[in-house]
Amino acid sequence: MGREEQVEEREVLESIFPDEITDISETEFRVSITLDVPGEDDGEAEPPVLLLTVQYPEEYPDKPPRLDLAAPQNSTSP
């Protein structure tokens, strides 16, 4: 899969998750994942968010993308 196919794949993901995806570079993007916490229906606290960073290597799809999962820098620990 060449660069063209990577762009098409990225466009499909953006059509499914338009508000959750942020481009970092031509080969890297970040997905914000808002978690649904059972029993947290009070609505006072913001739901927890995870950040999934996806980076395509030049050899993709022969080589898998790099995936990094992290909490936002401004998040608080329980």
> Mind listing the pLDDT tens digit for each residue in 6-40?
888 889 989 998 999 999 998 899 999 888 878 76
Domain range annotation of the chain: 3-70
Q: How many Cα atoms sit within 13 Å of 74 on the Cβ side?
A: 1
**Total count of residues recorded for the chain:** 78
Identify the helix (H) or strand (E) that includes residue 51.
strand 49-55
Write down the pTM of the prediction: 0.75
Q: What is the predicted pLDDT for the residue at 69?
A: 95
Per-residue pLDDT at 78 exceeds 90:
no
**CB 21: neighbour CB atoms within 10 A?**
17
